[in-house]
Amino acid sequence: MKTSARAIAIIQCLLDGSDMVTAGTIAEKLGVSSKTVSRELPKVELLLRTYGLELLRKTGAGIQITGDPSKIDLLRQDALNTETAAYTPQQRQIILAGQLLQATEPIKLFSLASMLKVTDGTVSHDLDKLESWLKQRGLLLVRRPGLGAYVKGSERDIRRALVEILYTNLDEERLLQLFHDPEQGTHKGAGAAEQYLLKLVDKQMIHDLEQLVHEVESGLPHHLSDTAFIGLVVHLSLAIQRMRKKEDIHIDTATLAALRKRREYRMAKELARRITAQFQTEVPEDEIGYITMHLMGARSFYRKGDDEVVSVMDNFHLVRMARSIMKCAQQETGRKLLDNKELFLGLVNHLGPSISRLRMHMDIRNPLLEEMRSAYPELMELAGKAVKPMEQELGEALPEAEVAYIAMHLGAALAEPHSASRQHVRVIVACQTGMGTSRMLAAGLKQAYDTIEIVDLVSALQVNREYVQHTEADFVISTVPIPWSPLPVVVTTPLLDQRDKARIDQELVRQADCGPHHTPSVSTQKALPFLESLQRMDAYNRAIQALLHHFFGKELHAEPSIRDVCQAASRAVASDTEAQEGIVAALLRRESEGEMVLRGNAMILLHARTDLVPGPRFGILHLEQPMLYPERDGEAVRTAIVMLAPKESSCEALETIGAVSAALLERWGLIAILNEGNPHDIYQELEHIFRDFYQQKYKELFGTM
């Protein structure tokens, strides 16, 4: 390929993008004027014709190379391999940074100029610009006449700068190519600077490390996301190359001691052992600590009880921060976001690793930051306002890259369409006792169906002809069969799964075929007399006090059976041996009528009505050794939720204890807190639940005052 270096540089700019590129954009990349670019275009067109390609020009849009894709690929390879290829100023600085950060001794300006095919003066000018970039990252560019140039700084800052260069200038697709095809040489579609950066990482080492990480990943309580996986492998690749050059990282003693207590440290140590065997490179303990920090920064779920020296937040705090973001965004937009499950889960899973990276002073990178700034400034502004309470709690401002991630989550939620209005039906929700699973089932129905109006929550025994006549219900959804019901009954599990929804959908279709149904009802119930309202509020008050006062949280250390769990629950609520035995029998009897495992959550719900308890009781049992339940094809249960109430409990008492069941689905994050929280955290969450419930009941009975 024989033509001017500038014409080839213009072609490289055009090949780097897939869309129209303006002359101004090319000029900015090359550090020349738009007129200079325009003067070079005839040379570009002549060269393109020799390849059977055309230069498409559109006024106001820009220019683009068009033609057979195979011929474009040939042009790309020739442009990369030509001896006269010119680097842009930006490309030169990327290459200079990579060379200097990797070097273990000074590099003479003459060597750098020869590599880049420019003058010593041009290299010196490029180094002036690079010096400022390095300084912002805690690094010093040292230039000594006769000796050359080198970078001075901590090993940690040098590695961070290397990783930043890679991630800023190589998209994830380029890095993924290394994983899928480690033997390939020139990377299709990669520009000159990208080609250089891809040489910074050992392709075969990347492939070998991928296998090692996959093998060890099973030791984590979660799978690494693709982004986290790539980040870890790239980090390990650079770390091994640095260790081979005796450039070791150092971590202070206190932080290292805290990291040793982490679950991720065990995985990091195993990775280090395998790296030593595979690459004949000894991994010092400080390096193991640094790998641990990367694993912590890649987590998508956090457990309670971690050492606070490294300040990783537990689930309770993640839930609270996610809710604060949703609440602020809801206030700003007027859109109902607090009930959005996908938004909540997305924020909690995202905030965990982000906060971990912030606390450990690790970079947060967002490849879509520029796009979010330019295309979605209103979302960036919204996210900036929504994270203020979180920033106050953390005691530091979030980097713009993190704000952009929050903006992306909010944008996805705000883009969801509002529910359409369709034909409504009225249903009764029933369970064996009327206090536990019916509340949970009702909460799931509210989330899944905006066409279902729940008229009552009752025990299965209450569903008789006399009761049904005054409800005007269309059918019953129950956790147990009700053969005596005068209405159609759909039997489901407490937590609606896809099979349950299919059965409900089938009944909804059948109901629709029966003719017109109800419109969403507006309550026409007359207000209760003031004294009766006071009495009902007093009943709610007493039930809440009983549940909070007698709340229990226990741990079972031995590997338990379902009977062991029931016995532990009975001992928590009764001191008399005979009463304990009766409570165990009641719980087992209810359990035998249908499994109560909350699948996918490692939890079991144990509840019963028995006069052996004087009032409503609620507690949590954490199992140190998971219990397989049911024994065949079961789930590893780690937490048992216990609910008990007297047989003759008031409606108010049953409704109050049922509020906790409903909250399991309605209050996003509660399941995580019940699974992972200590008794104090769980008690605090119960207070929140009952405070909201009490305020709701007060409003229903008295209205606003």
Q: Hey, which of 19-23, 53-57, 138-142, 347-351 has the most confident mean pLDDT?
A: 138-142
Q: Hey, which of 121-130, 297-306, 341-350 has the most confident mean pLDDT?
A: 121-130
Given a cut of 80, is residue 227 above it in pLDDT? Answer: no
The mean per-residue pLDDT over the stretch 422-433 comes to 80
Lowest mean pLDDT among 104-113, 229-238, 270-279, 354-363: 354-363
Given a cut of 60, is residue 273 above it in pLDDT? Answer: yes
User: What pLDDT does residue 308 have?
Assistant: 33
User: What pLDDT does residue 436 have?
Assistant: 60
Band of pLDDT at residue 574, cut at 50, 70 and 90 = very high
Band of pLDDT at residue 400, cut at 50, 70 and 90 = very high
> Edge to edge, what strands does the sheet with 552-556 contain?
552-556, 617-629, 635-645, 603-609, 597-598
The mean per-residue pLDDT over the stretch 196-216 comes to 76
What percent of the chain shows pLDDT beyond 70?
A: 82
Strand partners, 152: 140
The mean per-residue pLDDT over the stretch 562-566 comes to 93
SS3 percent helix, strand, coil of the chain, rounded to 5, is 55, 10, 30
The mean per-residue pLDDT over the stretch 36-41 comes to 84
Q: Hey, which of 159-173, 419-433, 690-704 has the most confident mean pLDDT?
A: 690-704
User: What pLDDT does residue 157 have?
Assistant: 85
CA nearest to 645, candidates 519, 550, 535: 550
Q: Specify the higher pLDDT residue, 231 or 614.
A: 614
User: What pLDDT does residue 617 have?
Assistant: 95
The mean per-residue pLDDT over the stretch 582-606 comes to 82
Given a cut of 50, is residue 421 above it in pLDDT? Answer: no
User: What pLDDT does residue 486 have?
Assistant: 86
Lowest mean pLDDT among 22-36, 174-188, 466-480, 527-541: 174-188
The mean per-residue pLDDT over the stretch 119-124 comes to 85
Tokens of 196: 């250089």
Length of the chain: 705
CA nearest to 520, candidates 430, 443, 454: 454
Residues 666-687 as b or e (16 or more Cβ within 10 Å = b): bbbbbbbbbbbbbeebbeebbe
Q: Are 26 and 62 in contact (CB under 8 A)?
A: no
User: What is the DSSP secondary-structure string of 216-258?
Assistant: HHTTSSSPPPHHHHHHHHHHHHHHHHHHHTT------HHHHHH
pLDDT digits (tens, 9 = 90+) for 122-160: 889 899 999 999 998 889 999 988 888 999 998 888 888
- Neighbour count for residue 491 (Cβ, 10 Å): 15
User: What pLDDT does residue 388 have?
Assistant: 93
Given a cut of 70, is residue 112 above it in pLDDT? Answer: yes
DSSP state, residue 455 = E
Q: Are 307 and 265 in contact (CB under 8 A)?
A: no
Q: Are 286 and 256 in contact (CB under 8 A)?
A: yes
Q: Specify the higher pLDDT residue, 17 or 188.
A: 17
Tokens of 178: 């290394």
Give the span between the Cα atoms of 502 and 508, in whole angstroms: 10
Band of pLDDT at residue 298, cut at 50, 70 and 90 = low
Strand (E) or helix (H) holding 395: none
Lowest mean pLDDT among 583-597, 616-630, 639-653: 583-597
Band of pLDDT at residue 313, cut at 50, 70 and 90 = very low
The mean per-residue pLDDT over the stretch 616-641 comes to 86
Band of pLDDT at residue 76, cut at 50, 70 and 90 = confident
Strand (E) or helix (H) holding 378: helix 377-386
User: What pLDDT does residue 194 have?
Assistant: 62
- Neighbour count for residue 280 (Cβ, 10 Å): 8
The mean per-residue pLDDT over the stretch 214-231 comes to 67
User: What is the DSSP secondary-structure string of 128-153?
Assistant: HHHHHHHHTTT-EEEEETTTEEEEES
Q: Over the chain, what is the mean pLDDT?
A: 80
Q: Hey, which of 53-67, 191-205, 361-375 has the most confident mean pLDDT?
A: 53-67
3-state secondary structure of 44: helix
What Å distances lie between residue 483 and 464, 476, 486, 490, 496, CA to CA? 10, 11, 9, 11, 21
Give the span between the Cα atoms of 272 and 212, in whole angstroms: 10
Given a cut of 80, is residue 698 above it in pLDDT? Answer: yes
Label residue 251 left, alpha or beta by phi (over 0 means left) and psi (-120 to 50 means alpha).
beta
Q: Specify the higher pLDDT residue, 304 or 366.
A: 366
Question: Which ranges of 147-225 does DSSP label H, i.e. alpha helix?
Answer: 155-169, 172-180, 192-198, 203-217
Strands 452-459, 552-556: pairing kind: unpaired
Residues 343-352 as b or e (16 or more Cβ within 10 Å = b): bbebbbbbbb
Lowest mean pLDDT among 178-192, 588-602, 640-654: 178-192
Given a cut of 50, is residue 520 above it in pLDDT? Answer: no
- Domains identified in the chain and CATH numbers: 5-81 (1.10.10.10), 89-154 (1.10.10.10), 201-308 (1.10.1790.10), 313-414 (1.10.1790.10), 425-513 (3.40.50), 530-702 (3.40.930.10)
Tokens of 181: 């095809």
Q: Specify the higher pLDDT residue, 278 or 375.
A: 278
Strand (E) or helix (H) holding 29: helix 23-30
CA nearest to 360, candidates 247, 270, 269, 256: 256
Q: Specify the higher pLDDT residue, 164 or 285.
A: 285
Lowest mean pLDDT among 532-546, 563-577, 584-598: 584-598
What residues contact residue 187 under an 8 Å CB cut-off, 6+ apart? 174, 177, 194, 195, 198
- Neighbour count for residue 585 (Cβ, 10 Å): 15
Lowest mean pLDDT among 190-199, 200-209, 450-459: 190-199
The mean per-residue pLDDT over the stretch 88-96 comes to 83
Given a cut of 70, is residue 102 above it in pLDDT? Answer: yes
User: What pLDDT does residue 304 have?
Assistant: 32
Bond before 616 cis per omega within 30 degrees: no
What percent of the chain shows pLDDT beyond 90?
A: 19
